[in-house]
Amino acid sequence: MTSIDPALERRRVRFALRAFRNDARMSQPEVAEHLDWSPSKVIRIEGGSVGVSVTDLRALLDLYGVTDATIRRDLEQATRESRRPPWWHRFRDVVSPPFAVFLGLEGAASELSAFDPTLVPGLLQTEAYTRALLSKLPPERTDAIVRLRAERQRRLLRETAAEPRLRFLLDEAALRRAVGGAATMREQLGRLKSDAALAHVELSVVPFARGAYPVLREGSIALTFQSGDDVLFVEGPNGALTTRDDQTAVDEFLTKFEASRKEAVSGDEAIAFIDEVLGQYPS
């Protein structure tokens, strides 16, 4: 597993505070009144739009009657950790707020389940494929995105990795769409085959011949955690990710994901399918 990101620590603290408030049978306005805060401050802390200081954390724990020294110490340490720069900080110029949340969580998830109907997922892209997709951007921005993607791949696609388990579901369109020319596609398809051979990676492809299938719409990624509180990221028309911090939404996506996998080819069949597509691009 990769090192814990500050975003994950912030998330752990806010979930704990929300649980303690519920245990204390207090509403957010009641908490604000007791601490002489605005109600919006409590809402922002529990919603994750702002962090909590150690001083405010202690005030909340006192109010909720949390006296366990180990719990208090762990949450104080997590609060401090949540304020340090994340690993992707040097790429902040090309990281949107929703993507920042995603980057903070993906390495700590126990499983990542991603569907893409049109393109090879970023974690599986070669540099040439990525550069072809970003050819209209300024060179310096493209370079930064390429370096960021390479770092994500280094962190998550190591041969010795056990977590997160990476499950990718692609539409045949993602393999057939010629991005960057024949040489780029040969390299990219070969890369898919090598990544699919990793023990913690599962690659499935839904052929055109299977027709419609449950998850066929927009690209989505679900991050699931051993502790629960899973997250769904949905890709919109402009490519931006929308965070769905909603267990019901995650469960609905995963149900459709599993049903769609039954329509897909996986394992050796997926490799054979990729080889068939490679026939489009003779060397």
Closest CA to 45 of 77, 15, 76: 15
* 89-278 CATH, one of 3.10.450, 1.10.1760, 3.40.1350, 3.30.870: 3.30.870
Query: Helix/strand/coil (H, E, C) string of 82-138?
Result: CCCCCCCHHHHHHCCHHHHHHHHHHCCCCEEEEEECCCCCHHHCCHHHHHHHCCCCC
In this predicted structure, what is the pLDDT of residue 264? 96
The rounded percent of the chain whose pLDDT value lies above 70 is 97
- DSSP 3-state assignment of 264? coil
Tokens 């300024």 locate to 138
Cα 110 from chain centre: 11
219 strand-pairing partners = none
Write the pLDDT tens digit of every residue in 45-66: 988 778 899 999 999 999 999 9
Taking every pair of Cα atoms in the chain, the longest distance, rounded to a whole number of angstroms, is 72
Cβ count within 10 A of residue 171: 24
Write the pLDDT tens digit of every residue in 104-160: 888 889 999 999 989 999 999 999 999 999 999 999 999 999 999 999 999 999 877
Q: How confident is the model at residue 18 (pLDDT cuts 50, 70, 90)?
A: very high
Looking at CATH, the fold of the domain delimited by 6-81 is given as 434 Repressor (Amino-terminal Domain) (1.10.260)
Q: Are 25 and 104 in contact (CB under 8 A)?
A: no
In this predicted structure, what is the pLDDT of residue 239? 63
Q: How confident is the model at residue 1 (pLDDT cuts 50, 70, 90)?
A: very low
In this predicted structure, what is the pLDDT of residue 244? 78
Q: Average pLDDT, stretch 240-266?
A: 89
Establish how many alpha carbons lie within 13 A of residue 139's alpha carbon, considering only the half-sphere containing its beta carbon: 0
Write the pLDDT tens digit of every residue in 167-219: 999 999 999 999 999 999 999 999 999 999 999 999 999 999 998 888 877 78
Q: Average pLDDT, stretch 244-266?
A: 91
Torsion of CA 173, 174, 180, 182, to 10 degrees: -70
Q: Average pLDDT, stretch 227-249?
A: 79
Tokens 């394992």 locate to 267
Q: Where are the alpha helices (DSSP H) in the chain?
A: 6-23, 28-35, 39-47, 54-64, 69-81, 97-106, 127-133, 139-156, 172-176, 182-196, 247-261, 267-278
In this predicted structure, what is the pLDDT of residue 238? 61
CATH 3.30.870 maps onto the chain at: 89-278
9 or 68, which is more confident: 68
| Res 88 pLDDT > 80 | yes
Q: Is the dihedral of CA 76, 230, 171, 242 positive or negative?
A: negative
